[in-house]
Each structure stands twice: as structure tokens, then as C-alpha cells.
Amino acid sequence: MSEVFDLACELIRRASLTPQDAGCQELLASRLARSGFAVERMHYGEVENLWATHGQGSPVFAFLGHTDVVPSGPREQWSTPPFEPTVRDGRLYGRGAADMKSGVAAMTIALEEFVACHPQHPGTVAMLVTSDEEGPLNLDGVRRVAEEFRRRGQRIDYCVVGEPSSAQTLGDVVRVGRRGSLSGTLTVRGVQGHVAYPEKVRNPIHLAAPALAELAATQWDRGNAEFPPTSFQISNLNAGTGALNVVPGTLEARFNFRFCTESSAQSLRERSEAILRKHGLDFSLQWDLSGEPFLTRNGKLRAAVSAAVREICGVDTVADTGGGTSDARFIAPLGGEVVEVGPVNASIHKIDEHVGLEDLERLPALYGAILAKVFGEA
């Protein structure tokens, strides 16, 4: 069909379950090397990362993506096998079709075309790809690469992440920031005993309940023009031995903050610990910060993306900060502008994941138009 279609199919055929890359990056690296890119493979633990650059100095424009995919789920529920790319009803089906092998294929082709047309372009164009975006910890993927970049003084001025940001049609939504995510595991200690002897027990459920209620009712901030207010949700609450006549000795609660730029991880930690102390609880609390919030203000990259979406997709884009976290959270702290723009996300992580063929065919042109606008139609 087309170059982007062929490359997307080749990537889907490689069953690259996190943290496996299954040869995807080798394929991309050899293509980019043929186009004159300097290719660096960064292996950390089980994770493969690829950093390919063309040109020198600033500005540095990088596309960011991942080659890993989430598991297919029960294969018998798929209409066609998840790792056999299949065209049906104007769509390309397969695990990773939307998240995000189409994006990776399109970014690669946009870069190849850009350097073929502008071999002497100013600054640096680059691609960064990891095989650990979908994993639970993301320790050895872009997080680790960003640490290495910081050590080297490697800047990224503009970063386009090819994650599936669109809601209904290609480009209708782009992400210009993400909320932070902070999780806590709370253990409240009491004294176990017989329910008939309340004077001899300390019931951690009774002790924790008012504190948890206060945490749930607290307004952490009011949000701002770009972000909804910070939200607090308890996801797991466990206590009890299963017996009806035993007061348990401990209670465990797990919770998560999705927080905006009006709060920080540190302020949320301090405020929640103050509430728990105020209620006199004997507790321990373990925190896990998976990312601080970030926001790319209206600048050169956002303007280029909006103009490119209008030109290639014929729609006015909405800049949004919704959704979960993405690897953009590790790149944004390096100081550049970061925007996520990619295919429709309705089927991601689902059975029968797919991308519209029309969207797939337009993606390289969309990424190419963004590049051209940032480099002033170089």
C-alpha cells in the first residue's frame, strides 16, 4: 500500500511485549542509519532504547515513542490474530496499531523525508524510542535516558510524542501537559482481639475511617485554566481476618493523587501526613511518585502543531491535559516544549486494537508539517 503502512505492519508483526523490543528498534535503526542518522543504542537492564540524530546543535527537535505493547488479552476474543496485521473495513488491526506503532512508523518516515529534502537543515532532528513505556515501573526506559541526557547536557528544545491523543478524528485533541501521579500505601496499626472485649482492642478500621473520610473530602486545590483540580482516590482498602468475632490488628489503604501544577508531590505528602497525625493514628506510609505534572505553554511548538493539524487534518485542535501519564513526563523536565499528537485512542489496550487507514496515511504528513513549521519551512 504505502511506506507508512508497510512499516507499521512490520512493527506490529514483531510481538514486542514490554520490555521486549522484538527487533523493532533494529528495523528503525537500520532505516535511519541509511538516511544518515547517527544511531545510539542504549541498553539498560532488559530495556532497549534508541537515540538517533541528524545534524548538530540547536534547536534539537525530537520525536518520542515506544516500541513495546501491552499484552493482547485472550487471543480467541480477537477477530484476527493480534500480531498479524490485518486490514478490514478501512482499518488496520493489530496490537500496537494505535498505541503506538503507527506513530513510530510515521515519525520515522517523516524524519527520513525531512532530511532527504533538507540535508543541510539547521540544528538537530532526532528520534528517541524505548521498549519500556507500558511497564509498571519504567525505570530503564525514557526515565533513565533522560537522566543520561541531563548528565551529558543534552537538551531537547521541541519534543513531539506520537502517542494516540485524538478522540474522534486525527488531530482533534493534542496533549500539552499531564497531571502528576502520586501513590501512597498506608498501614494503620491497632490492637487485634475479640469483638466482645472492646476495651482490650484498638480497632484500626474505626480509627482510620474518619481520617480517610477527611482525605477523601479535602479540596487539595482548585485547578487552573489548563488543569482540573487535583483528585484523590482510594483504590484498595483491606482489613479483617475473615472471622466475624475478631477485630483486626492492621488496616491497609492504597490511594492515588492525580495532581495539577497548583500542587506538588511534596505538598500533597505533607498535607496528607498532617491529616493522619491529627487523627492520632499509629501509621506508616510509603509513597511512590510516578511523575510530576508538566505543562507546555503556548509557544512555537504548540503553534506549529495547531497549524499542521489544521493544514493536514482540516480540524481545529483542542489542547488538553487529560489522560494517564506518558513518557513525556520524563522529557518535559529537560526544559523544552512537549506536545503529544497521534491517532485516535478509542481502541488502545483493547481487543481488536486498530488505526484508521486514512489516519495512518496522513500521519507522516502531519509530523512532517510540524517539523517544517518549527524549522521555518527550512
Q: Choose between 113 and 140: whose C-beta lies nearer to Zn ion.
A: 140
Candidates 99, 132, 133, 327; catalytic one: 133
# residues contacting Zn ion (CB under 5 A)? 3
21 belongs to the binding site for Zn ion (CB under 5 A): no
Strand duo 177-178 + 193-194: pairing: unpaired
353 belongs to the binding site for Zn ion (CB under 5 A): no
* Span 223-262, contacts to Zn ion by CB under 5 A: none
100 belongs to the binding site for Zn ion (CB under 5 A): yes
Q: Choose between 100 and 339: whose C-beta lies nearer to Zn ion.
A: 100
327 belongs to the binding site for Zn ion (CB under 5 A): no
142 belongs to the binding site for Zn ion (CB under 5 A): no
- Is 148 noted as a catalytic residue in this protein? no
69 belongs to the binding site for Zn ion (CB under 5 A): no
* Span 48-67, contacts to Zn ion by CB under 5 A: none
Report the C-alpha gap between 177 and 295 in whole angstroms.
4
Q: Choose between 96 and 123: whose C-beta lies nearer to Zn ion.
A: 96
Question: Distance of CA 290 to CAs 2, 150, 178, 293, 329, Å?
Answer: 38, 19, 12, 10, 9
Residue 101 CB neighbours (<10 A):
32
Candidates 21, 68, 134, 157; catalytic one: 68
Closest to 118 (Cα-Cα) out of 311, 376, 367, 338: 376
**336, 319 Cβ separation under 8 angstroms:** no
Phi-psi map region of 114: left, alpha, beta (phi>0 left; psi -120 to 50 alpha): alpha
99 belongs to the binding site for Zn ion (CB under 5 A): yes
- Is 132 noted as a catalytic residue in this protein? no
Q: C-beta of 159: minimal distance to Zn ion in Å?
A: 15
Question: Distance of CA 25 to CAs 37, 98, 283, Å?
Answer: 14, 18, 46
Who contacts 245 (Cβ-Cβ below 8 Å, separation ≥6)?
194, 195, 196
Q: C-beta of 31: minimal distance to Zn ion in Å?
A: 21
* Residue whose beta carbon is closest to Zn ion: 99
Residues that bind Zn ion (CB under 5 A): 99-100, 163
Annotated active-site positions, please? 68, 133
